[in-house]
Structure 1
Amino acid sequence: MSQQYQPNQPYGQQPGWGAPQPPAGFPPPPKKNSAGKIIGLGCAGIIGLFIVIGIISAVISGGGSDNKNDDATEAKPAASATQDDKPAAAQPSKAEQPSPAAKKTEEPKKQVVTFKVWGTAPAGTLGPIDITYGSDSDTRQGTFKNGKFEATMPVDSDALFFNVMAQLQGSGDIQCSVTVDGHVEKAHASGGYNICHAQANAGILGGWD
C-alpha cells in the first residue's frame, strides 16, 4: 500500500520511506564539488612546504653563524701569537747610550801659568840658588831640587806680567821660562851671581808679549 505525500510533513520525514525523496515537481539537490576540496588541500600543502623550507633555512643559517663564531674564536689565539712573534723595537745598547759624564757640558779648563828653572846651580856661601816667581801682585818662593824647578799658578786676567827669577850662588849654568796661554818667554844665566829672568807681559791688545 503506498502512502500519499503529505504537504504539511517536513521533507525527508515522510512515514514509511527508506530514504528521503524529493517531492515530485522539485529539482534534485546540487552535488558537492570535490574540486574545491582538492584546491584547498593543495594550497595548504604549498603553505606547509614553505614553512618547512623556512625552518630548514633558519637551522642551516644558524649553524653557519655558529661556525663563523667558532672560526673567529679560534683565529684570535693565532693573531695574538703572531703579535707575540713580532720582534720588539730595537733598544739602544748600553754601549750606544751616552754616559752621564758625556751628557754634562765639559767645563773649560782653567788657564795656568807654568814657571820652570833647570840646569846646574851648586850651592854657594849664601846657600842654594834663589828662585822667585809669580805676578806683579803675587810673588812666591821656589826651591831648586835635583837640577830643576817647576810650578804653576792660575792666570790672573788683571795681572800686568808673570815672571820667574833664579840667581846663581857663585857658579853654575841655568835656564828659565814662563809659559802663559801657549806663549813662552825664556832666559839664560851662567857663572857668578848672575840672574836668569824670564817674563811674559800682558799685551795692550790682549795676549802676552
Structure 2
Amino acid sequence: MSQQYPPQQPNQPYQQQPQQPGWGAPQQGWGAPPQPPKKNPIGKILGFGCLGIIGLFVVIGIISAAVGGGSSKKSDSSSGVKPAATASKDGKASTADKPKGAADDDKKADSKPATPKKKVVTFKVWGTAPAGALGPLDITYGSDSDNRKGKFVNGKFEATLPLNKDAMYYSLTAQLQGSGDINCSVTINGKTKRGHASGGYNICDAQLSSGLLGGWD
C-alpha cells in the first residue's frame, strides 16, 4: 500500500500544516481551561465600610444611653426638691426631716453660750508655824488697794480674790512667831511667785506686779 499524505494546501509549503484549533499550545483553543474571573476589591471595601458605619451607629447609641441616664440622675438630685418637714407635737419640725445644717443651727440656738470664767488671784501658805508669844502665824494678803488677814489652819492657808485689772500688784506676807518653816505663793493666770521663811520672826513674802502690757511679773 502506498502511504497517503494529506492534500497540500495552496500557497503553503509541503511540510507546514495549518494549525488546527486544539492542536497547538492551550492559549485560546477549545482544549484550554477557562481562566477564572478576577475578583473586584471594590466589593470588599464597600462591605467593610458598611460594617464600620453600622458599628459606629451602635457605639453612638450606647454612649447616648449612658449620658442620658447620668443626666437624669443629676437632674433628680439637683432639682432641689426636698421632703416637707413633718411637725412634731410641739408644732416644730422634726430634725429627721430638716436639712443637716438646720438641725445643727437648732442645737446651737438651744444651747446657752458658755460664760467665761472669771480670773482670780490665788494665795497659799504651807509648812510648820507653831504659835508663839504673840500668837499664831500672822498672814496678810491682797492688792495695793485691798488688804486682808488670813488664818493658818492644819499647816496650810489658801484664799482667792477676783482679779482687778486696775490693781498695781497682789502680794502675800506670812510672819513666823518665834519658830517654824513655811513657804508662800501668789498665782495669777498661771504666773506664780514664791517665798520662804524659817525660824524666829522671819517673813515669807510673795508678790506679782502688773506689767505695762497687761501681764504679771
Q: TM-score, normalised by structure 2?
A: 0.51
Once the two structures are superposed, residues 112-161 of structure 1 have per-residue CA deviations (whole angstroms, 9 ceiling, x without a partner) of 00000000000000000000000000000000000000000000111000
1:199 pairs with 2:207: yes
- Correspondent of 2:150 among 142, 164, 168: 142
1:91, distance to aligned residue in structure 2 (A): 3.8
**What is aligned with 2:111?**
103
Secondary structure of 1:158's counterpart equals coil
Aligned position for 1:56: none
- Report how far residue 107 of structure 1 moved: 1.3
Paired AA for residue 208 in structure 1: W
String of CA shifts for 1:81-130, please: whole Å, max 9, x gaps. xxxxxxx969448xx97498x62111111100000000000000000000
Q: Secondary structure at 1:152's aligned position in 2? A: strand
1:126 is paired with a residue of what secondary structure? coil
* Partner AA of 2:182 in structure 1: I
User: What TM-score does the superposition give when structure 1 sets the normalisation length?
Assistant: 0.53
Paired AA for residue 127 in structure 1:
G
In the TM superposition, structure 1's runs of 4+ consecutive aligned residues that sit over 3 Å from their partners are 88-93, 96-100
- Bigger mean CA deviation after superposition, 198-207 or 136-145: 198-207
User: Taking structure 1 as reference, are residues 204 and 99 closer, same or farther at Cα in structure 2, changes over 3 Å only?
Assistant: closer
Q: Which protein has the larger Cα radius of gyration, Structure 1 or Structure 2?
A: 1
**Matched position secondary structure for 2:167:** coil
More helix by share: 1
Tell me what 1:167 maps to: 175
Shift of 1:177: 0.3
Q: In the alignment, which residue of structure 2 is the partner of 1:151?
A: 159
Determine what percentage of the aligned residue pairs are the same residue. Answer: 63
Where in structure 2 are the equivalents of 1:1-209 lying within 5 Å? 91-92=94-95, 98=107, 103-209=111-217
Q: Which runs of 5+ in 1 are unaligned?
A: 1-87
Paired AA for residue 194 in structure 2: K
Q: Secondary structure at the match of 2:192?
A: strand
- Could you tell me how far apart the structure 1 residues matched to 2:138 and 2:108 are? 49
- Distance across 1 between alignment mates of 2:183 and 2:162: 23
How far did 1:205 drift?
1.9
Distance 1:126 1:156 in 2: 33
5+ unaligned residues in a row in structure 2: which ranges? Answer: 1-84, 87-92, 97-103
| Structure-1 residue corresponding to 2:75 | none
**Secondary structure of the structure 2 residue equivalent to 1:106:** coil
Letter aligned with residue 108 of structure 1: P
Distance in 2, Cα, partners of 1:119 & 1:137: 28
